Amino acid sequence: MYKNHFKLLCAVYLVLKKDGKVLMLRRFNTGFADGNYSLIAGHVDGGESVFDAMARETKEETGIDIKHEDLKVIHIMHRRCESPDYERFCVFLEASKYSGEIKNMEPNKCDDVRWFPINDLPVNTVDYVKMAIKNSDGGIFFSEDGWG
């Protein structure tokens, strides 16, 4: 018998690299980590694959298109959340290419979009995002966050 029933939410993050830099978005007016930099990201909707979710979120947030065959999973993170009712399973993907011009498509949720050196991320980068980028660059495929 299960002691606790909880939800495992799946989130996707895009590590988009160019010339030793990574594309970061500063969160604004979202209620979570506002004022901090993160990656293109979002939740997987029901009936949607991780790759479909990443392509959708990328288009919604930056206006660029990515194809399934240009995506690869580079890191997985199991995150403990503030609420005991759910945890997060985070899938970090890298795109080998994209098409279109990068624009801030959600100015009500993001107030800055720019490239940062991957080895010199902003001090105000979301901690677990910084850890996932570092781990994936170091060849570490799986990590946990918030477990003590």
Q: Output DSSP code: residue 61.
A: H
d(CA 27, CA 107): 10
d(CA 74, CA 86): 24
Report whether pLDDT(5) > 70. Answer: no
Note the pLDDT tens digit of each residue in 52-107.
Answer: 999 999 999 999 999 999 999 999 999 998 777 778 999 999 999 999 999 999 99
3-state helix, strand, coil in the chain (%, to 5): 20, 40, 40
Three-state SS for 5? coil
What's the confidence (pLDDT) of residue 4? Answer: 60
Answer yes or no: are the C-beta atoms of 122 and 116 closer than 8 Å.
yes
Q: Provide the pLDDT confidence category of residue 1 given band limits of 50, 70 and 90.
A: very low
Answer yes or no: are the C-beta atoms of 25 and 58 closer than 8 Å.
no
**Strand pairing partners for 99?**
65
Report whether pLDDT(3) > 70. Answer: no
Report whether pLDDT(126) > 90. Answer: yes
Report whether pLDDT(2) > 70. Answer: no
Residue 50 or 3, more confident: 50
d(CA 91, CA 74): 8
- The whole-model pTM stands at 0.93
Note the pLDDT tens digit of each residue in 98-116.
Answer: 999 999 999 999 999 999 9
Class of domain 7-145: alpha beta
- Going through the chain in order, the beta strands assigned E by DSSP cover 7-15, 17-18, 21-27, 37-38, 40-43, 71-80, 86-95, 110-117, 142-145
Note the pLDDT tens digit of each residue in 38-51.
Answer: 999 999 998 999 99
List the domain boundaries for the chain.
7-145
